[in-house]
Structure 1
Amino acid sequence: MSSFLGYEVPWLEQHNGVHTAQEISHQPRLWRALSEILEQQYDAVSTFLNPLLERSDLRIILTGAGTSAFVGDAAAPFIQQGLGFQVESIPTTDLVSNPQQYLDPSRPTLLVSYARSGNSPESVAAVTLVDQLISDSHHLFLTCNGEGELSRYAEAAGNAYCMLMPDGSDDKSFAMTSSFSCMLMATLTLLGGQSPSQWSEQIAATATLCEDKLLQWQTAIKALADMPYERLVVLGSGGFAGLAREASLKSLELSAGKVMTTFDSSLGFRHGPKFTINDKALVIQLLSSQSYTRQYDMDLFKEIRQDNQALGHVAISEIPFNEEGVFELGQLGLGDQWLCFPFILFCQMLACEKSFQLGLGPDNPCPTGEVNRVVQGVTIYPFNQ
Structure 2
Amino acid sequence: MDASLLPDLPTWQRLGGAYTAEEIAQQPRMWTALAQGLDAAQARIDAFLGEALRQPGQRVIFTGAGSSGFIAEMVADQINAQWPAEVRAIHTTSLLTHPALYLQRDRPTLLVSFGRSGSSPESVAAVDLVRAQVDHARFLDITCNADGELARRGQGRSDTLSLLMPPASCDRAFAMTSSLSSMLLAALSVFDTAPWPQRVQRLHDLAAHADRALQAWDAAVGALAQAAYSRVIYLGSGPLEALAREAALKVLELTGGRVLALANTPLGFRHGPKSTLDNDTLVVMLRSAQPLSRRYEQDLLDELRGDGIAARVISVGPDGDDRSDGDFVSTTPDLADPWLAPLWLLMPQCYALQRSAALGMTPDNPFPDGTVNRVVQGVIIHPHG
Q: Following superposition of structure 1 onto structure 2, how do residues 167-316 of structure 1 map, counting pairs within 5 Å?
A: 167-316=167-316
Contact 2:55-2:84 within 8 A present in 1 as well: no
Contact 2:175-2:374 within 8 A present in 1 as well: yes
**Residues 1:2 and 1:266: Cα distance change in structure 2 (over 3 Å):** closer
- d(CA) in 1 for partners of 2:46 and 2:380? 36
Contact 1:225-1:353 within 8 A present in 2 as well: yes
Runs (4 or more) in structure 1 with deviation over 6 Å come to none
Deviations 1:168-202 (A, max 9, x none): 01100000000000000001111122221211221
The residue number in structure 1 matching 2:380 is 379
The residue number in structure 1 matching 2:68 is 68
Letter in 2 for 1:329: S
Structure 1 portions without partners, runs of 5+: none
Letter in 1 for 2:357: F
Q: Which moved more, 1:177-186 or 1:313-322?
A: 313-322
The residue number in structure 1 matching 2:20 is 20
In the TM superposition, what is the alpha-carbon distance from 1:265 to its structure 2 partner? 1.4
User: What secondary structure sits across from 1:283 in the alignment?
Assistant: strand
**Residues 1:104 and 1:2: Cα distance change in structure 2 (over 3 Å):** closer
Deviations 1:250-297 (A, max 9, x none): 011001001111111121111111112211111111111111222111
Contact 1:5-1:21 within 8 A present in 2 as well: no
Contact 2:6-2:25 within 8 A present in 1 as well: no
- d(CA) in 2 for partners of 1:156 and 1:104? 26
Q: Following superposition of structure 1 onto structure 2, how do residues 120-159 of structure 1 map, counting pairs within 5 Å?
A: 120-159=120-159
- d(CA) in 1 for partners of 2:84 and 2:346? 29
Structure 2 portions without partners, runs of 5+: none
User: What secondary structure sits across from 1:374 in the alignment?
Assistant: coil
Letter in 1 for 2:169: S
**Residues 1:150 and 1:328: Cα distance change in structure 2 (over 3 Å):** same
Question: Given the two structures, how large is their TM-score scaled by the length of structure 2?
Answer: 0.96
Deviations 1:306-343 (A, max 9, x none): 11111111101213234222222136434423221211
- d(CA) in 1 for partners of 2:132 and 2:107? 14
Contact 2:63-2:91 within 8 A present in 1 as well: yes
- d(CA) in 2 for partners of 1:2 and 1:203? 19
- d(CA) in 1 for partners of 2:351 and 2:169? 20
User: What secondary structure sits across from 1:131 in the alignment?
Assistant: helix
User: What secondary structure sits across from 2:114 in the alignment?
Assistant: strand
Deviations 1:19-68 (A, max 9, x none): 00000000000100000111101111111112221221111111011111
The residue number in structure 2 matching 1:365 is 366
**Residues 1:132 and 1:40: Cα distance change in structure 2 (over 3 Å):** same
Q: Which moved more, 1:244-253 or 1:100-109?
A: 100-109
Q: Following superposition of structure 1 onto structure 2, how do residues 47-62 of structure 1 map, counting pairs within 5 Å?
A: 47-62=47-62
The residue number in structure 1 matching 2:356 is 355
User: What secondary structure sits across from 1:305 in the alignment?
Assistant: helix
In the TM superposition, what is the alpha-carbon distance from 1:83 to its structure 2 partner? 2.6
Contact 1:320-1:329 within 8 A present in 2 as well: no
Aligned residues: 384
The alignment's C-alpha RMSD in Å is: 1.5
Question: Given the two structures, how large is their TM-score scaled by the length of structure 1?
Answer: 0.96
User: What secondary structure sits across from 2:168 in the alignment?
Assistant: coil
